[in-house]
Structure formats: C-alpha cells, structure tokens
Structure 1
Amino acid sequence: MTRYRLQPTPVQEQALLQHCGHARFVWNPAVEQHACWRPDRGPAPRFAEQCRQLTQARAEHAWLRAGSVTVQQQALKDFHQAMGNFFAGTHRRPTWRKAGRHEGFRIVAVKPGDVRRVSRRVGQVKVPKVGWVRFRWSRPVPDGAKSYRVTLDRAGRWHVAFAAIPDPIPAPGTGKAVGVDRGVAVSAALSTGDLLNAPGLQESERVRPARLLRRLARAQRGSKRRARVKAAIARLKARETDRRKDWIEKTSTDLARRFDVIGVEDLNIAGMTRSARGSVEVPGRNVRQKAGLNRGILANGWGGLVRRLEHKAPGRVVKVDPRYTSRTCSACGHVAGESRESQAVFSCVVCGFEVNADVNRGLQCS
C-alpha cells in the first residue's frame, strides 16, 4: 500500500465521514450475524446473501440509499476476507468498529483516469459521491493500482492508500549475508556490529503524554475540552508512529540493497506481547513489568521490520530458531548461561570471545 496525505475541503470531509459511517454500519451487523449464528441454523450468511440483505436495507432506508453502493459492498467484502483470514489462523476474529477509531472505506475498480496529477506537489483522486479530492503528491502513484482505501486516523488526518504490489529490490549479488537481532534496548543489532535504534519521542516530548493524560482525567466526558486533549494525545502518538514507520522503511531498504541473505530470529511476537493479567481465578504475575516489556517490543517495530524485509527482499529472508541464541557463542558454538555477563555483554567462558550480546545473537542469524 502506497499512502498519501489527503486534503479534502470541509464539505468533502463531511461526505467522506458519511462514507465511513455507511461502511461501519454495514460491517457491524455482519460481525453480529456471525457472532450470534449457531451451527443448528446451517451455514452462516455468505457474501452474496449479505449483499441481498444490503439491497433490501437500501430500499428501506433513504439515508443508506443516498450513499455509495460500492463503499457498502466493499465493506462486506472486507469482512468476508477478514473471516477467511481468521479461519486460516493468520488473524484474529473481526470485531466491532467504533466511530472515531475505525474510520475508513475502500474503493475498487479504479480506472486510470480516476487519479491525476495537477501540479508538482498536488494530485487528485476521484471518490464516488464526493468528486475530485486533492492529495499531496509526495511520490508517483503506482501503475496498475486497481483499488484504494481512504482512512481517517485518530489525529484527524486523512490518507489515501493505493493497493499495488511493489517491485522487489534486486539483490546486490555480492554474496554477503547479515544477521539481525531485534531487542528492546537496541532495536536491531546487525552481525556487522552496527546497532540501530528506532526513533521515538524526543526528550522534550516524553513528558507531554503523562501531562496530557492527567489533564484528560480531569476533563468532563463529552466536553469540548476533553475532545481537544484526546486529539492532542492522538497527534503525539501519531508522530511517534510515523517516525517508527519511517525508520522501518529506510532500514529495510538499506538491508535489502546491501545484503543477499538476511537472517532473523523466528519469533512469535503476538504471543510474546500477550497480556499477563490472567483471569479472576488465576491472576497473572508481574503484570506491570510484562506490560512495560510489551510496550518496548511494539515500540521497536519488531514485526514491521521483518514484514517489510519480506516484501522488499522476497526469498532472501531466512528465519532462524531463536532457542539458546542468547547463551550460544557465535565463535565456538559453546552454550553456557554464564557467558551472558549482562544485558549488553557476552563473554564466552570457553574461548574468551567477547562482543555485544545483541551482536552475538545477530552473528548466529547470519
């Protein structure tokens, strides 16, 4: 997905919000149908059946009929794709979408004339029932894009993302391999000795979240002041997310261009970041410490880095079994817990090889 910053007018923004509301209205009943369906009723409604139900709903409700049928049908299509991913075991079950949090819709069957460039930095995309909407032309739109998705994030920013399969980055052909160890103190430690860190908030910005959260706690629910504070928190989090994504893109591109083979540990990140709260009968232990570790893992972009590496260097990313890598010497292969002197230092008790602990794990992946 190639994403651009959308710049709608106030009138167009209201029309886009109506599309988002219609897509959410169609999605939520589909989720409810499948959640309440029982096996004795037979198979759950499929895409064709729910499209017929949508046609009946549009005939009964003028406000729904006034919206785009493409937007509403694609919401159903997205739901059935999400259910297919759930049954395949790759994603979680689709859940309800909430106003202000899940705002977006998808348009398909995009024609070449539906996207145009009007100046050096400005482009336009044709949205059904809205017309031509401007977006920032930060880079060329991919050729052959057949669909796009319009989204509104919690910071109040509109984006349009064109779906297209990017061309992979060709291998340099030098035969070089690199191992990448992902960590919390160091985002990515390369077997070459390079230590890379994902950027986050600056020192002057780190005090703002706590201050804004205290201000949010004092604000009355439903007030304009509370909405302003929530928007400020969302903008701060969006800034941190944008910096992390930018780092992931640049780092993955650099690795794909420099090395023929890229080794990473095969980590179950979803399982590693699962909450430790437990249940009422069996409460969890060290819940706050585990929550801090989860935040550290997610803030360093472990999954995003490997995902983009697989996109840009398909067939060149090798996943290595992570067991005992923190105790194994990359020089002689001896396994001993005593070799890990600290979080940052690895000193083999047999051969005396000493190196940064994260670099030692990266060497085993290369």
Structure 2
Amino acid sequence: MVVQKLNRRWAQVKVPGCGWVRFRLSAKGKGARLPAAKTFRVSYRNGQWHAAFAVVPEPIPAPGTGGVVGIDRGVRITAALSDGRKLNCPQLTVKERAQIRKHQRRAAHAPKGSSRKAAAYAKVAGLKAREVNRRKDWCEKTSTLLARTYDVIRFEKLNIKNMTRSAKGTVEQPGRNVRQKAGLNRGTLAQGWGLLRRRTEQKAPGRVEDVPAPFTSLRCSACGWIEKKSRKSQADFVCVFCGFTCNADENASINVAAGQGGIPRPRQTAGAGGVTAASSRSSAREPQPIRVEIPLF
C-alpha cells in the first residue's frame, strides 16, 4: 500500500486498477499513524466515499496517580462519573428530528419504486448517519479522556443485549407496552454504552473492571443501607436510614467506584461511626437469612 500525505488536510492513496485517489484526512488519520497502516478499504455509504485504514493504536499509559473512577450509565445521563462529572452523548437536534419525520412522510406518500421515495429515504439515512458519526466521535474522545485521567476504570456491568430485547412477544403470548419498550430501546442504543466500554478497554487494557449492577442504584454510598424507597426519582436519592442526599446517578457511580455491587456490605451507624451488625430494621431489597432447624436424635 502506497500513501502520500499532500498537506495537513489531504493525502492520496494508490488504489489498484484506479490509480491515485485523493482523500481528506479525518481527525483520527492525522499525524504519524497514517503511514503505519497495512491495509485499507474504500466504501460508498449514504452518498459519500470513505477510505478506512486498518491501524492498531498503541495502548494509552496510565497516569500513575492512583485514581479510580466509577461510571454509571443511563439514558438521561449517558455516563455519570464518581468525581461528579456528567457526560452526555450528543443526539440529533430538534430541527434534525423534524426533518427526519418530514422526509419519512414524503417517502410514505411517494409512489412505490419512484425516485422521490428513494430520494426521501436517502435524506433520512444521511441524517441518521450523522447521529452515528457523532456518537462514535463522542465515544472515542470520552474513552481517551478516561484512559488518560484514571488508573482504574470501573463500569457498571450491564447486559445490553437483554436490556434492549423486543417486547412484542409471540402470537400465542403477545407482549405488553410494545411501543413504549421500543422507544426505550432506541434511547438506550443511542447512548453508545457498549462502544464506550469496548473502546475504553482497548485503550486501557487491564485497567477496566466490571462491577455487578444489583444494588448499586439502591445502596447509600454514605452508610451502605439498601432500600428501594431511597430512590425518590430518576435524579434524586435520599437515604431513609441516615438522610444522606445526593444525585441518584452520582450515588450509583460512587458505589461502582468502590466496587460495591451485587452483595450487600455491613451497614454503618449514623451516630458515632464504625461498622456494626445489621440493624433489626429490614429493607425491601435486603436478602434475609433462612433459619433451618435440624432435629437431634
């Protein structure tokens, strides 16, 4: 493969059977990494030609500060960090969503197989491709930020495939709230949870950990009490045991950073401090021990 860089923005590659083809360098293709590419692929998508070069990036070294961060992923807030930062994946604007609906209506009213229907669908595909490009760009920048800032990065372990499964059911057992579940699935997939986790692992190998998701959003990060009623709303968390108040996503991210998930830990008293035995006050989500009596002969 022969690649020549013409200037800061443009380069050219020699394609077999076509000769020299000029292409515009993207942000990821600038610098000294372009000559290190071994193979490339030319594709045509949504009215644009793309030249993709296969480059294996080098891992980002740890900063060495000993910093540990927990990341709670959600739909309202894409990534809530345990240090208080809240990062949101960019979405389509209100105007762009209105344009998508407009072109979809035009495509629905156009005759089948007509050029008007194809043109309307092409415009819809171009707008959706713009959203995908924004999501990929955000995941690349955010994963680089995490790899350069923290030594250990802990994600809440989520089974995204099962979470976004369709609720339509079967003919014998049809599902309920199918349209609402479909909208939730679209909102979940638009956040790029899986891509962010995968790119962070590739840039910081060996420094990414998964924390079990159960109890992370219901546990108080101050005293450890687990109670469903503490989660007042999507954004508010007020512990019913010690009165600790915090943003619900930030509280969950602190639990993820501490590795507190799946198994309840001993609670702390709200007074003098220190770890005590579990209180007689039961929780709705707290596993209770089972008493077994064995007769003696």
TM-score, with length taken from structure 1: 0.67
Matched, 1:124 2:12: yes
Say if 2:25 is the partner of 1:134. no
Asked whether 1:144 is paired with 2:36, we answer yes
Q: Are 1:216 and 2:107 matched, yes or no?
A: yes
Return the letter of the residue paired with 1:307.
R
CA distance in 2, matches of 1:125, 1:285: 54
> C-alpha displacement at 1:129, in angstroms?
2.1
Give the whole-Å Cα distance in 1 for the aligned partners of 2:112 and 2:40.
35
Alignment-mate amino acid for residue 132 of structure 1: W
Question: SS at 2:197's partner residue?
Answer: helix
- Residue pairs, 1:59-208, within 5 angstroms: 111=1, 114-138=2-26, 139-140=30-31, 141-153=33-45, 155-208=46-99
- Determine the structure 1 residue equivalent to 2:287: none
Preserved CA contact (<8 Å) 2:3 2:35:
no
1:265 Cα shift? Answer: 1.0
* Alpha-carbon offset, residue 173 of structure 1: 0.6
CA distance in 1, matches of 2:249, 2:7: 48
Which residues in structure 2 correspond to 1:237-252 (within 5 Å)? 237-252=128-143
Q: Which digits, 9 at most, give the CA deviation of each residue in 1:142-179, with x for residues without a partner?
A: 343222222222x2122121112101111111101111
Correspondence list, 1:317-328, <5 A = 317-328=208-219
Structure 1 unaligned segments of length 5 or more: list them.
1-110
Q: Work out the CA distance in 2 between the residues paired with 1:129 and 1:294.
A: 44
Deviation at 1:362, TM superposition (A): 0.7
User: Residue type matched to 1:326 in 2?
Assistant: S
In the alignment, does 2:167 pair up with 1:276?
A: yes
Residue 222 of structure 1: how far off its partner (Å): 1.7
Residue 125 (structure 2) aligned to one of 234, 240, 247 = 234
1:102 aligned residue: none
User: Are 2:253 and 1:365 equivalent residues in the alignment?
Assistant: no
**TM-fit CA distance, 1:355:** 0.8
Shift of 1:231: 1.3
Q: Any idea what SS the aligned residue of 2:162 has?
A: helix
Alignment pair present for 1:259 and 2:147: no
TM-score w.r.t. structure 2 length?
A: 0.82
Between the aligned partners of 1:215 and 1:301, the Cα distance in structure 2 is 30
State how 1:286-305 maps to structure 2 within 5 Å.
286-305=177-196
The alignment partner of 2:145 has SS state of: helix
> Counterpart of 1:200 in structure 2: which amino acid?
Q
Measure how far apart 1:275 and its partner are: 1.1
Q: For 2:171 and 2:12, how far apart are their aligned partners in 1?
A: 54
Residues 248, 166 of structure 1: alpha-carbon distance in 2 compared, 3 angstrom cutoff: same
> How far apart are 1:201 and its partner, in Å?
1.3
Contact 2:218/2:230 (8 A) holds in 1: yes
Matching residue of 1:336: 227
The letter for the 1-side match of 2:38 is K
In structure 2, what residue type is equivalent to 1:274? R
Q: Deviations over 1:214-246 (max 9, x none)?
A: 111001122111121111111111111111111
Structure 2 gap ranges (5+): 258-297
Tell me the SS of whatever aligns to 1:206: helix
Greater helix proportion: 1
Residues 260-284 of structure 1, C-alpha deviations (whole Å, 9 max, x = no match):
1111011111111111111112211
- Structure 1: how far apart are the matches of 2:164 and 2:51? 30
Q: How many residues align?
A: 253
Three-state SS of the structure 1 residue aligned to 2:237 is strand
Query: 1: distance between equivalents of 2:138 and 2:70?
Result: 18
Cα shift at 1:183: 0.2
1:50-61 equivalences under 5 Å are: none
Say if 2:71 and 2:155, in contact at 8 Å, map to a contact too. Answer: yes
Once residues 309 and 137 of structure 1 are traced to their aligned partners in structure 2, the CA distance between those partners, rounded to angstroms, is 24
**Residue type of the alignment partner of 1:211:** K
| Change beyond 3 A, Cα 1:365–1:142 | farther
State the Cα distance separating 1:203 from its structure 2 match. Answer: 2.5
Report if aligned partners of 1:117, 1:137 keep a CA contact under 8 Å in 2. Answer: no
What RMSD over aligned residues (CA atoms) do the two structures have, in Å? 1.4
Give yes or no for contact 1:144–1:164 (8 Å, CA) kept in 2: yes
SS in 2 for 1:180: strand
